[in-house]
Structure 1
């Protein structure tokens, strides 16, 4: 059964598949000493374009936001600015829902 986190796993896999050939090309073209820049970019990309938008989507969806995909898109396009904007402007006042809260008594 698919869960809410399935799209994040798929996105993480796609990012990994994209970085493997890039890493191989980097090894062939550049020396090993310049791999620090590659790993720094990879870390930035994963945090800024996977982790932050993923957290915003899960949080907005869990709190019952009216526009979780909008906030996720903003956070993906403007990673840190979008995250701060969501944190201060986009979080609904409702507490985060769990699966136990969604079931009828």
Structure 2
């Protein structure tokens, strides 16, 4: 996905595989990753234990996505895609739904 905000992650537990643009790398605990705005990126825990990260998104407001998903009861990708559209988030997974 991509969006107009920068993100900073600090891996606390687990090993995460990040993709930022064309670059892919693994991040063990203690790693700090900075993802710039407007660049497609993703991450997933590839370790055997549950993962945990601390995230900062700037400028603020990205939390609105999670608040709106909860308030609306949206569960299906097409419902979430409407909220993402409104907030300027481009999500490759929901784009595949021909929204």
Q: TM-score, normalised by structure 2?
A: 0.27
Q: Which has the higher helix share?
A: 1
Q: Which has the higher strand share?
A: 2
Looking at both structures, which has the greater relative contact order when contacts are Cα pairs under 8 Å and sequence separation is at least 6?
2
Structure with the greater alpha carbon radius of gyration: 1
